[in-house]
Amino acid sequence: MREGSHETASLVKGEVTMAAEATPDEAARHAEKKARIKAARDRMMAEKTGEKGLVLVLTGPGKGKSSSAFGMVARALGHGMKVGVVQFIKGKFSTGEETFYRRFPEVHYHVMGEGYTWETQDRERDVRAATAAWAVAQRMLADASCELVVLDELNIALKHRYLDLAQVVADLQARPAMQHAVVTGRGAPQALIDAADTVTEMNVVKHAFQQGIRAQKGVEL
């Protein structure tokens, strides 16, 4: 049996195959390389001294946009920060994050949508719901004590033109200097991307929904 085949067989049997021990020269080169990387990183970090409130946009067709935003809510709470959340569009059913974060007095949580757009099939009703939601968001964005504002699925409302994009961007730009705002939803408009400090596009590699698996509690709900 070839050496590679023997290693594969060992792994199948549950054995652990250890990497070959480095020679003294290899160990020295490795240590030198890591030292150079650390020095370069230290120099880079030393140059990053500024702080400001950020606009973060999480977009793209992949899963994890809202999950990432609510992970930031947990992080902010860990630092004793006050958080505001407005969920657009997802309004007819409760999610795990809503149930959980409503327990915290530091979180002002508002669900203003009336379900996904295909549930209402009524543009005027969707516009009214989105407008009411944005009124709540505007109060949060004007409140300096609210250090993190999550605007979940706002991009969907903008994509369908339920809200005025220019007004949304203007309100984001006028918020307190140290307030962070996180906007989620696929199809982020270019004007919002241009106004943001950090933009992440999540793409699909593989998704259980494509295999006939519905949204499940603890994962999507």
Q: Using CA atoms, how far apart are residues 110 and 139, in angstroms rounded to an integer?
A: 12
Instruction: Evaluate if residue 95 carries a pLDDT over 70.
Output: yes
CATH of the domain at 122: 3.40.50.300
CB within 8 A of 45, min separation 6: which ones? none
Tell me the C-alpha to C-alpha distance, in Å, between residue 160 and each of 72, 125, 151, 194, 203.
Answer: 26, 13, 16, 19, 21
DSSP state of 64: -
- pLDDT the model gives residue 215: 72
Q: Which residue is listed with tokens 């160990």?
A: 27
Instruction: Tell me, yes or no, whether 66 and 8 share the same domain.
Output: no
Instruction: Tell me, yes or no, whether 72 and 157 share the same domain.
Output: yes
- pLDDT the model gives residue 90: 60
Q: What percent of the chain has pLDDT over 70?
A: 83
Q: Containing domain of residue 10, as a range?
A: 3-47
Instruction: Tell me, yes or no, whether 38 and 126 share the same domain.
Output: no
Instruction: Tell me, yes or no, whether 27 and 107 share the same domain.
Output: no
**Is there a domain that residue 218 lies in?**
no
Q: Which residue is listed with tokens 């977009």?
A: 59
Q: What is the pTM of this model?
A: 0.77
Note the pLDDT tens digit of each residue in 8-24.
Answer: 444 445 555 556 788 88
- pLDDT the model gives residue 179: 98
Note the pLDDT tens digit of each residue in 165-193.
Answer: 999 999 999 999 999 999 999 999 999 99
Q: What is the rounded average pLDDT for all residues in the chain?
A: 85
